[in-house]
Structure 1
Amino acid sequence: MTELDPVVAQFVNAVNAGDREAFEAVLTADATMSDDGNDLDLRKWAASEIFDTEGRMDIQSISDGGRAVVADYTNTRWGSMRTAWRFTVEGEKISRFETGQA
């Protein structure tokens, strides 16, 4: 399996550790995101879908130089689902990510 981009790896590790500080640290101040094609407030989404519901990413495949993944995503709200994630990395931070069902 191709390896994750190091910045994306920090994101995944922060999600899986439930570490809000590490999650925020890997994002640009103006980072954006979309879920199933809908642009949403990143911080509200992260609270609801990751941190308040014990979100976890189990990476199944990696592509695009480690900046795109398919993961089995699990949280206490939705259970487990196959999801696709694509990350835009600027320097050492993520400026945008897009996720949705795969």
Structure 2
Amino acid sequence: MTIPADRLSHPAVRDLVTAINGHDEQAFFAALAPGATMSDDGSDRDLREWCEREIFATRGHMDVQSEADGGLSLVANYRNDTWEEMRTHWQFTIEDGKVSRFETGQA
């Protein structure tokens, strides 16, 4: 069963997932702390480049299947126009109410 983005427990994570699913690049970057970082499958990536390629240019979308750790850990079916759909894990670090780091990879 999918958890709607507006029902996710943590407000910062909720804002980020809502921005991803709405293809709202401005809201996405507004949900991030200054200097935010990320990794994909254990390798640090350039956040802006990765997000453009994996989310915005390819219409990325998260169907959240479960959450844990107070909403900071998600399992989601993630799809985009490049990779189609895959089961992914997302872990978020929050600073001052914004996402300062996220780590994603295949679950």
Q: TM-score band, normalised by the shorter chain?
A: over 0.9
How far does residue 93 in structure 1 lie from its aligned partner after superposition? 0.7
Aligned equivalent of 2:36: 31
Aligned residues: 102
Aligned equivalent of 1:81: 86
If the length of structure 2 is used for normalisation, what is the TM-score? 0.92
Q: Displaced runs of 4+ in structure 1, greater than 3 A?
A: none
Q: List alignment gaps of at least 5 residues for structure 2.
A: none
Aligned equivalent of 1:14: 19
Identity %: 54
If the length of structure 1 is used for normalisation, what is the TM-score? 0.96
Q: List alignment gaps of at least 5 residues for structure 1.
A: none
Quick check: 1:42 aligned with 2:24? no
SS of the equivalent of 1:54 reads coil
For residues 6 and 49 of structure 1, what CA distance do their matches in structure 2 show?
A: 23
Backbone CA RMSD of aligned residues: 1.2
Aligned equivalent of 1:94: 99
